[in-house]
Structure 1
Amino acid sequence: MKICFVGKGGSGKTTLAALFARHLIAGPAADHPAAPPLLAIDADINQHLAAALGAGEEEAVLLPALGDHLPEIKEYLRGDNPRISSAAAMVKTTPPGRGSRLLTIGGPNPIYDALVRDVGGVRLAVTGPFATEDLGVACYHSKVGAVELLLNHLVDGPGEYVVVDMTAGADSFASGLFTRFDATFLVCEPTLRSVGVYRQYVGYAREFGVAVHVVGNKIDDESDLEFLRGHVGDDLLTWIGRSSYVKAAERGRPAPIASLEPRNRAALELMRATVDAARKDWVTYTRQAVEFHLRNANAWANDRVGENLAAQVDPDFVLGPELLVR
């Protein structure tokens, strides 16, 4: 299952993404006897997920970046798909087809070998920071494009998880990336600015059938909950209260996830149950990938590549687990 965390900058989405990933792999539990296959991806322009998972500053800086290896990623995923003339002709929305190489969460594959590292017990890939040399010559979407390509080619199943920390606000709507998830958790503080981001995000998402689950954060008392309920209604799934556990971790004193306050741990478990109950729809997943690819082709990609990228679409291809056993 593919999961993303979105919300206003400073709302705590990176912290919650890290807590949720650590909760998923914590096991054992009665209904989760072993740690599941899991991949975390930092797709935020502010690269803080590694630190939230417990990496030191030097370790975080040395992590290899997806955005620095786009040519290699494209070449691998292209495989021998006859509809793609070259790796250079692939763009962030290029969908898979017959001959493309598909990914699973557990791998192994050369992309994971080169670009995924264990951080605090969580397998993590990062897009890489937006560097000074990028100013004026690149946009962050060129780096996040690696994430969209990976998710377009990834086949996941029950009990497997990809946890993606997205860039703040509604910036992900610049491509089809927001449709790549089985569950979208929008982290919302009890403030008007945070609720404003919720309204902006949910307005876009519902046009494409994307369900948004609001997770309240930094909740102090019942008045905070009443404020959120008044603004987000039934979209409020659960909430995280002010946490001495999180405060200690942010001050350099991390502890096992089992030490998290019971009420907050229960909220993470409800989030897991919500993800596990989501229905996979590979036909819609493939159709939306194609739809956004054609939009991007017509808007800019045909001119940039010098080809009609609609020809990359394999009309009879549907991504799904049955392709892994052929």
Structure 2
Amino acid sequence: MKIAFVGKGGSGKTTLSSLFIRHLAASRIPVIAVDADINQHLGAALGLDEASAASLPAMGAHLPLIKEYLRGANPRISSAETMIKTTPPGDGSQLLHVGRGNPVYDACARTIPLDDTSVRLMATGPFTESDLGVACYHSKVGAVELCLNHLVDGRDEYVVVDMTAGSDSFASGMFTRFDMTFLVAEPTRKGIAVYRQYKEYARDFDVSLKVVGNKVQSPDDLAFLRDEVGDDLLVTVGHSDWVRAMEKGRTAPFAQLEEANRRALDTLHTTADAAYGERDWERYTRQMVHFHLKNAESWGNAKTGADLAAQVDPAFVLSEGAATPQPA
């Protein structure tokens, strides 16, 4: 299952995504956490100290390795240099699995202990001094999109991505890579504006979208969200002493999270699990190809000097039964 957390900056999406990751881990469900936000805070939300969070390897820095591994023996891709963020897999490509090791995880993932279990964490990486003024952040998250395009995942394993804030997610096709998108919204006009914009942009792409109301402190807050969001409102979350202590560096066992907030996480989990029944691998592959062809025509062909449309394998459909990668 691929799950995205999106929302306005400051809405609490990183906190909610970290709580959901902890919930899955506590349930002994394999999970890979991905920090794809321009503000790299997921590591800290999962309990890393500042130095450890800053030392996480950047996926963007390992993009050549990622491309070379995923290319595998795909005859339609002449070299790793001709791969772009939207390049789809085909016959001969290496595929990623949540529970199997591979060189991508070896280079980019770090194991984060959580109580008596652990999760893998990967991060796009922050802006560096050399990026300032010359690069956009979407050049960083391209590594995440490429990995999601080549990921085969099942019902009882999760990839949870803390996405960049607001509608920046629509700068690529990555917003279509998820079984469920949880939009974290505060009960404010700005929070609702991001929801409306996201829903409008995603309208034609079969994006499963549910709203998680955050920082809900009164019946009036709840009524406001219900009036503005309607049936898309899935659940609400209020104040948490557990979260406040965690943000101060005093993390207690996850089992001590408030019962109301634990029930909210159960609702997210149940909703995500139900989305598995709606999974359509053919549509997923078709959308992947759609955005690849758009990017190829817009800039990819000119940048690589290759006809990137030729990378599309018309007979290939990504699925749980797709070719197994070679042993790492």
TM-score, normalisation: structure 1: 0.96
Question: Where in structure 1 do 4 or more consecutive aligned residues deviate above 6 Å?
Answer: none
Q: For 1:258 and 1:224, locate their aligned partners in 2 and report how far apart those are by CA, in whole Å.
A: 27
| Deviation sequence 1:179-212 (CA, Å, 0-9, x none) | 0000000000001111111111111112111021
Correspondence for 1:176 among 166, 173, 182? 173
Correspondence 1:57-68 to 2 at 5 A? 57-68=50-61
Q: Structure 2: how far apart are the matches of 1:162 and 1:18? A: 12
Whole-angstrom distance in 2 between the partners of 1:99 and 1:139: 32
- How far residue 263 of structure 1 moved from its aligned partner, in angstroms, is 0.7
Are the structure 2 counterparts of residues 206 and 293 from structure 1 closer, same or farther at C-alpha, using a change threshold of 3 Å? same
Q: Is the 8 A contact 1:53 1:122 kept in 2?
A: no
Residue 193 (structure 1) aligned with residue 193 (structure 2):
no
What are the Cα deviations for residues 8-40 of structure 1, in whole angstroms up to 9, with x where unaligned?
Answer: 00000000000000001113xxxxxxx111100
Offset of 1:137 from its aligned partner? Answer: 2.1
Question: In structure 1, how many angstroms separate the alpha carbons of the residues matched to 2:18 and 2:287?
Answer: 28
SS in 1 for 2:34: strand
Contact 1:4/1:183 (<8 A) preserved = yes
Deviation at 1:320, TM superposition (A): 0.5
Which one of the candidate residues 192, 204, 209 is aligned to 1:207? 204
User: Which residue number in structure 2 is paired with residue 289 of structure 1?
Assistant: 288
Unpaired runs of 5+ residues, structure 2, are: none
AA matched with 1:305: T
Aligned partner of residue 253 in structure 1, secondary structure: coil
In 1, the alpha carbon distance for the partners of 2:188 and 2:97 equals 39
Q: What is the correspondence of 1:283-322 to structure 2 with a 5 Å cutoff?
A: 283-322=282-321
C-alpha contact 2:94 2:324 (8 A) present in aligned 1: no
- What is the DSSP-based 3-state SS (H/G/I as helix, E as strand, rest coil) of the residue aligned with 2:306? coil
Match of 2:215, SS state, is strand
| SS class of match (2:78) | coil
Report whether the alignment pairs 1:91 with 2:91. Answer: no
Per-residue CA deviations over 1:123-145 (Å, capped at 9, x if unaligned) read 10000001221012221111100
In structure 2, the residue corresponding to 1:323 is in which secondary structure? coil
Q: Deviations over 1:27-80 (max 9, x none)?
A: 3xxxxxxx1111000000000000000000010111111010100000000001
Tell me by how many angstroms 1:309 deviates: 0.5
In 1, the alpha carbon distance for the partners of 2:305 and 2:323 equals 33
Following TM superposition, by how much is the alpha carbon of 1:325 offset from its aligned partner in structure 2, in angstroms? 5.8
Per-residue deviation, residues 214-247 of structure 1 (Å, max 9, x unmatched): 0000111111110111111110000111111111
One-letter amino acid of the structure 2 residue matched with residue 156 of structure 1: D
SS at match of 1:40: strand
1:251-270 counterparts in 2 under 5 A?
251-270=248-267
1:77 to 70, 80, 93: 70
Q: Partners of 1:300 and 1:114 in 2: how far apart?
A: 29
Amino acid at match of 1:8: K
CA RMSD of aligned residues (A): 1.0
Q: In 2, Cα distance between the equivalents of 1:228 and 1:115?
A: 38
SS in 2 for 1:137: coil
User: What is residue 32 of structure 1 aligned with on the other side?
Assistant: none
Matched residues, percent identical? Answer: 64
CA contact (8 A) 2:112 2:120 kept: yes
C-alpha spacing 1:17/1:241, structure 2 compared with 1 (3 Å): same
Query: Which AA in structure 2 matches 1:7?
Result: G
* Residue 25 (structure 1) aligns with: 25
Task: Give the number of aligned pairs.
Answer: 319
On the 8 A contact 1:91/1:301 being kept in 2, the answer is yes
Q: Which amino acid aligns with 2:11?
A: S
Give the drift of 1:122. 2.0
What is the identity, as a one-letter code, of the residue corresponding to 1:272? Answer: H
The answer on whether the counterparts of 2:186 and 2:192 sit within 8 Å (CA) in structure 1 is yes
